[in-house]
Protein backbone atom coordinates (compact mmCIF):
# COMPACT_ATOMS: atom_id res chain seq x y z
CA UNK A 1 0.00 0.00 0.00
CA UNK A 2 2.87 2.34 0.82
CA UNK A 3 4.33 1.80 -2.64
CA UNK A 4 1.03 2.80 -4.26
CA UNK A 5 0.80 5.95 -2.14
CA UNK A 6 4.42 6.83 -2.89
CA UNK A 7 3.90 6.60 -6.62
CA UNK A 8 0.64 8.55 -6.37
CA UNK A 9 2.37 11.36 -4.50
CA UNK A 10 5.12 11.39 -7.10
CA UNK A 11 2.55 11.78 -9.84
CA UNK A 12 0.91 14.65 -7.97
CA UNK A 13 4.22 16.51 -7.77
CA UNK A 14 4.92 15.93 -11.46
CA UNK A 15 1.39 17.05 -12.38
CA UNK A 16 1.77 20.24 -10.35
CA UNK A 17 4.94 21.12 -12.24
CA UNK A 18 3.54 20.17 -15.62
CA UNK A 19 0.46 22.33 -15.05
CA UNK A 20 2.70 25.39 -14.92
CA UNK A 21 4.81 24.61 -17.96
CA UNK A 22 4.03 23.94 -21.61
CA UNK A 23 6.91 22.41 -23.49
CA UNK A 24 7.59 24.50 -26.63
CA UNK A 25 7.82 22.44 -29.80
CA UNK A 26 9.63 25.22 -31.65
CA UNK A 27 12.61 26.93 -29.97
CA UNK A 28 11.77 30.45 -28.82
CA UNK A 29 13.57 33.70 -28.11
CA UNK A 30 14.97 32.50 -24.77
CA UNK A 31 16.65 29.59 -26.56
CA UNK A 32 18.12 32.04 -29.09
CA UNK A 33 20.22 33.64 -26.34
CA UNK A 34 21.52 30.18 -25.36
CA UNK A 35 22.37 29.39 -29.00
CA UNK A 36 24.20 32.71 -29.34
CA UNK A 37 26.24 31.99 -26.21
CA UNK A 38 27.01 28.48 -27.46
CA UNK A 39 28.12 29.85 -30.82
CA UNK A 40 30.42 32.36 -29.17
CA UNK A 41 32.31 29.75 -27.12
CA UNK A 42 32.28 27.08 -29.81
CA UNK A 43 33.69 29.51 -32.38
CA UNK A 44 36.41 30.46 -29.88
CA UNK A 45 37.60 26.84 -29.93
CA UNK A 46 37.37 26.58 -33.72
CA UNK A 47 39.33 29.79 -34.23
CA UNK A 48 41.95 28.77 -31.65
CA UNK A 49 42.72 25.56 -33.51
CA UNK A 50 43.00 27.42 -36.81
CA UNK A 51 45.25 30.12 -35.34
CA UNK A 52 48.13 27.64 -34.92
CA UNK A 53 49.61 26.21 -38.14
CA UNK A 54 50.70 22.69 -37.29
CA UNK A 55 52.61 19.97 -39.11
CA UNK A 56 54.28 16.70 -38.23
CA UNK A 57 57.49 18.36 -37.01
CA UNK A 58 55.45 20.61 -34.67
CA UNK A 59 54.56 17.55 -32.57
CA UNK A 60 57.99 15.87 -32.75
CA UNK A 61 59.04 17.20 -29.34
CA UNK A 62 56.14 15.61 -27.50
CA UNK A 63 57.14 12.76 -25.17
CA UNK A 64 55.96 9.22 -25.78
CA UNK A 65 54.63 10.06 -29.22
CA UNK A 66 55.53 6.69 -30.70
CA UNK A 67 52.47 5.19 -32.32
CA UNK A 68 50.36 8.31 -31.76
CA UNK A 69 49.42 10.32 -34.82
CA UNK A 70 49.19 13.74 -33.19
CA UNK A 71 48.88 15.59 -36.48
CA UNK A 72 45.92 13.56 -37.72
CA UNK A 73 44.18 13.85 -34.38
CA UNK A 74 44.83 17.60 -34.25
CA UNK A 75 43.27 17.97 -37.68
CA UNK A 76 40.37 15.85 -36.50
CA UNK A 77 39.85 18.18 -33.54
CA UNK A 78 39.70 21.11 -35.96
CA UNK A 79 37.04 19.31 -38.00
CA UNK A 80 34.95 18.44 -34.95
CA UNK A 81 35.14 22.02 -33.70
CA UNK A 82 33.87 23.22 -37.09
CA UNK A 83 31.05 20.66 -37.04
CA UNK A 84 30.03 22.00 -33.64
CA UNK A 85 29.80 25.50 -35.10
CA UNK A 86 27.74 24.17 -38.02
CA UNK A 87 25.31 22.38 -35.69
CA UNK A 88 24.75 25.58 -33.70
CA UNK A 89 24.33 27.57 -36.91
CA UNK A 90 21.41 25.30 -37.82
CA UNK A 91 19.73 26.27 -34.54
CA UNK A 92 20.75 29.87 -35.18
CA UNK A 93 18.46 29.90 -38.22
CA UNK A 94 15.68 28.08 -36.37
CA UNK A 95 15.69 30.45 -33.38
CA UNK A 96 16.46 33.68 -35.26
CA UNK A 97 19.61 34.01 -33.19
CA UNK A 98 22.61 36.00 -34.35
CA UNK A 99 26.26 35.20 -33.81
CA UNK A 100 27.89 37.79 -31.53
CA UNK A 101 30.65 39.89 -33.05
CA UNK A 102 33.68 38.46 -31.27
CA UNK A 103 37.33 39.43 -31.34
CA UNK A 104 39.00 36.64 -29.45
CA UNK A 105 42.27 36.70 -27.56
CA UNK A 106 44.09 33.39 -27.74
CA UNK A 107 46.46 31.96 -25.14
CA UNK A 108 50.13 31.91 -26.22
CA UNK A 109 51.48 28.81 -27.91
CA UNK A 110 55.23 28.18 -27.83
CA UNK A 111 55.33 24.47 -28.64
CA UNK A 112 53.19 21.37 -29.05
CA UNK A 113 52.76 20.91 -25.29
CA UNK A 114 51.40 24.43 -24.76
CA UNK A 115 49.14 23.94 -27.80
CA UNK A 116 47.55 20.90 -26.18
CA UNK A 117 47.45 22.43 -22.69
CA UNK A 118 45.44 25.36 -24.04
CA UNK A 119 43.23 23.02 -26.04
CA UNK A 120 42.61 20.95 -22.93
CA UNK A 121 41.49 23.97 -20.92
CA UNK A 122 39.09 25.14 -23.62
CA UNK A 123 37.72 21.68 -24.48
CA UNK A 124 37.15 20.77 -20.81
CA UNK A 125 35.54 24.15 -20.19
CA UNK A 126 33.22 23.72 -23.17
CA UNK A 127 32.20 20.30 -21.90
CA UNK A 128 31.07 21.87 -18.64
CA UNK A 129 29.63 24.89 -20.45
CA UNK A 130 27.26 22.87 -22.60
CA UNK A 131 26.25 20.69 -19.66
CA UNK A 132 25.38 23.88 -17.82
CA UNK A 133 23.56 25.42 -20.81
CA UNK A 134 21.14 22.48 -20.78
CA UNK A 135 19.63 24.09 -17.67
CA UNK A 136 18.87 27.27 -19.61
CA UNK A 137 16.94 25.92 -22.59
CA UNK A 138 13.24 25.34 -23.07
CA UNK A 139 12.93 23.20 -26.21
CA UNK A 140 13.98 19.56 -26.75
CA UNK A 141 15.90 20.33 -29.96
CA UNK A 142 18.22 22.76 -28.24
CA UNK A 143 18.60 20.57 -25.14
CA UNK A 144 19.62 17.64 -27.37
CA UNK A 145 22.40 19.61 -29.03
CA UNK A 146 23.68 20.94 -25.70
CA UNK A 147 24.00 17.35 -24.44
CA UNK A 148 25.64 16.17 -27.66
CA UNK A 149 28.21 18.97 -27.68
CA UNK A 150 28.95 18.39 -23.99
CA UNK A 151 29.74 14.76 -24.72
CA UNK A 152 31.83 15.75 -27.75
CA UNK A 153 34.04 18.10 -25.78
CA UNK A 154 34.30 15.65 -22.89
CA UNK A 155 35.70 13.04 -25.25
CA UNK A 156 38.19 15.54 -26.67
CA UNK A 157 39.34 16.70 -23.23
CA UNK A 158 39.82 13.11 -22.06
CA UNK A 159 41.93 12.31 -25.12
CA UNK A 160 44.10 15.40 -24.72
CA UNK A 161 44.39 14.96 -20.97
CA UNK A 162 45.62 11.41 -21.36
CA UNK A 163 48.68 12.77 -23.19
CA UNK A 164 49.35 15.56 -20.69
CA UNK A 165 49.29 13.71 -17.38
CA UNK A 166 49.59 10.13 -16.20
CA UNK A 167 46.24 10.00 -14.41
CA UNK A 168 43.05 11.46 -15.86
CA UNK A 169 40.40 9.67 -13.79
CA UNK A 170 40.78 10.20 -10.05
CA UNK A 171 39.79 7.37 -7.70
CA UNK A 172 38.93 9.82 -4.91
CA UNK A 173 36.73 12.10 -7.01
CA UNK A 174 33.46 13.19 -5.40
CA UNK A 175 31.98 14.91 -8.43
CA UNK A 176 30.73 14.07 -11.88
CA UNK A 177 32.28 15.97 -14.77
CA UNK A 178 32.25 19.65 -13.75
CA UNK A 179 29.51 21.85 -15.18
CA UNK A 180 29.42 25.64 -15.28
CA UNK A 181 26.82 28.36 -15.53
CA UNK A 182 27.31 30.89 -18.35
CA UNK A 183 28.09 33.56 -15.76
CA UNK A 184 30.94 31.43 -14.41
CA UNK A 185 32.30 30.78 -17.91
CA UNK A 186 32.55 34.53 -18.54
CA UNK A 187 34.85 34.96 -15.53
CA UNK A 188 38.53 35.45 -16.28
CA UNK A 189 41.09 32.96 -15.03
CA UNK A 190 43.46 30.24 -16.14
CA UNK A 191 41.59 27.26 -14.72
CA UNK A 192 39.05 25.01 -16.39
CA UNK A 193 35.66 26.73 -16.34
CA UNK A 194 36.69 30.29 -17.19
CA UNK A 195 36.97 31.81 -20.67
CA UNK A 196 36.35 35.49 -20.00
CA UNK A 197 39.96 36.44 -20.71
CA UNK A 198 39.56 35.18 -24.28
CA UNK A 199 36.03 36.48 -25.01
CA UNK A 200 36.66 40.21 -24.61
CA UNK A 201 33.08 40.80 -23.52
CA UNK A 202 31.49 39.56 -26.74
CA UNK A 203 29.01 37.11 -25.20
CA UNK A 204 25.94 37.71 -23.02
CA UNK A 205 25.00 35.08 -20.45
CA UNK A 206 21.44 33.76 -20.89
CA UNK A 207 18.89 34.09 -18.09
CA UNK A 208 17.68 30.90 -16.42
CA UNK A 209 14.10 29.72 -17.15
CA UNK A 210 11.19 30.92 -15.02
CA UNK A 211 13.22 33.85 -13.64
CA UNK A 212 15.20 31.36 -11.61
CA UNK A 213 18.82 30.86 -10.63
CA UNK A 214 20.84 27.79 -11.58
CA UNK A 215 23.06 26.31 -8.88
CA UNK A 216 25.32 23.45 -9.96
CA UNK A 217 26.57 20.93 -7.41
CA UNK A 218 28.78 17.88 -7.48
CA UNK A 219 26.07 15.49 -8.67
CA UNK A 220 23.12 17.58 -9.83
CA UNK A 221 21.76 21.07 -10.34
CA UNK A 222 19.01 23.19 -8.80
CA UNK A 223 16.73 25.75 -10.42
CA UNK A 224 15.68 27.92 -7.48
CA UNK A 225 13.51 31.01 -6.97
CA UNK A 226 11.59 30.11 -10.09
CA UNK A 227 8.21 31.68 -9.43
CA UNK A 228 5.37 29.47 -10.62
CA UNK A 229 7.45 26.30 -10.44
CA UNK A 230 8.32 26.40 -6.73
CA UNK A 231 7.03 22.84 -6.33
CA UNK A 232 9.75 21.45 -8.56
CA UNK A 233 12.39 23.66 -6.95
CA UNK A 234 11.72 22.14 -3.54
CA UNK A 235 11.72 18.61 -4.91
CA UNK A 236 14.91 18.99 -6.92
CA UNK A 237 16.84 20.27 -3.92
CA UNK A 238 16.44 16.84 -2.35
CA UNK A 239 18.47 15.30 -5.17
CA UNK A 240 21.72 17.08 -4.45
CA UNK A 241 21.92 18.65 -0.97
CA UNK A 242 25.47 19.79 -1.63
CA UNK A 243 24.52 21.78 -4.74
CA UNK A 244 26.41 25.05 -4.90
CA UNK A 245 27.93 27.06 -7.73
CA UNK A 246 31.62 27.80 -7.54
CA UNK A 247 33.91 30.02 -9.56
CA UNK A 248 37.00 28.15 -8.37
CA UNK A 249 39.02 26.42 -11.11
CA UNK A 250 37.70 22.93 -11.66
CA UNK A 251 39.59 19.72 -12.31
CA UNK A 252 38.22 17.88 -15.30
CA UNK A 253 37.68 14.26 -14.34
CA UNK A 254 36.84 12.52 -17.60
CA UNK A 255 34.39 12.35 -20.47
CA UNK A 256 31.05 14.11 -20.14
CA UNK A 257 28.21 12.43 -18.30
CA UNK A 258 24.91 14.16 -19.03
CA UNK A 259 21.46 13.82 -17.56
CA UNK A 260 18.01 15.17 -18.26
CA UNK A 261 18.20 18.78 -17.18
CA UNK A 262 16.42 22.10 -17.57
CA UNK A 263 12.69 22.54 -17.09
CA UNK A 264 11.95 19.16 -18.65
CA UNK A 265 14.47 17.66 -16.26
CA UNK A 266 12.73 19.41 -13.39
CA UNK A 267 9.62 17.33 -14.03
CA UNK A 268 11.60 14.10 -13.97
CA UNK A 269 13.53 15.27 -10.93
CA UNK A 270 10.33 16.06 -9.08
CA UNK A 271 9.07 12.51 -9.56
CA UNK A 272 12.38 10.98 -8.43
CA UNK A 273 12.64 13.25 -5.40
CA UNK A 274 9.07 12.57 -4.34
CA UNK A 275 9.67 8.83 -4.47
CA UNK A 276 12.96 9.17 -2.60
CA UNK A 277 11.53 11.09 0.36
CA UNK A 278 8.43 8.91 0.93
User: pLDDT value at position 222?
Assistant: 80
User: pLDDT value at position 216?
Assistant: 81
Q: Give the list of residues 6+ apart from residue 158 with CB closer than 8 angstroms, or none.
A: 168, 254, 255
| pTM for this predicted structure | 0.73
For 236, list phi and psi in degrees, rounded to 5: -65, -35
User: pLDDT value at position 113?
Assistant: 93
- β-strand partners of 192: 250
Q: Is the distance from CB of 131 to CB of 71 less than 8 angstroms? A: no
Which residue range(s) make up the domain with 36?
2-277
The whole-angstrom separation of Cα 239 and Cα 212 is 18
The whole-angstrom separation of Cα 138 and Cα 143 is 7
Looking at the 3D structure of the chain, how many domains does it have? 1
User: pLDDT value at position 29?
Assistant: 74
- Which value, to the nearest 10 degrees, does the dihedral of the CA atoms of residues 140, 214, 181, 10 take? -40
The model's pLDDT over 136-188, given as tens digits with 9 standing for 90+, comes to: 988 899 999 999 999 999 999 999 998 888 777 888 888 888 889 999 999 99
H helices then E strands: how many in the chain? Answer: 9, 2
Inter-residue long-range contacts of 45-50, CB under 8 Å, 24+ positions, other chains counted? 45/81, 45/84, 45/122, 45/123, 45/126, 46/78, 46/81, 46/82, 46/84, 46/85, 47/104, 47/106, 48/104, 48/106, 48/107, 48/118, 48/119, 48/122, 49/74, 49/77, 49/78, 49/81, 49/119, 50/78
Which parts of the chain register pLDDT below 50?
2-4, 17, 228-249, 254-278
Closest among 92, 94, 96 to 84, alpha carbons compared: 92
Amino acid sequence: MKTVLTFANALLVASAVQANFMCPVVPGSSDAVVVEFGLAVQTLLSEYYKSIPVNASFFATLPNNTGTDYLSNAMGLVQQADLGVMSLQQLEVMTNASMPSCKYTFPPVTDAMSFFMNAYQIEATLCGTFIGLADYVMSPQVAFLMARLAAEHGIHASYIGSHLKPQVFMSNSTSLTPAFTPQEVLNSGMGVGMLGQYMNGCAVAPVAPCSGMVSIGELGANLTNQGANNVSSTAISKLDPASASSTEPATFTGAAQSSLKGVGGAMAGAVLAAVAIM
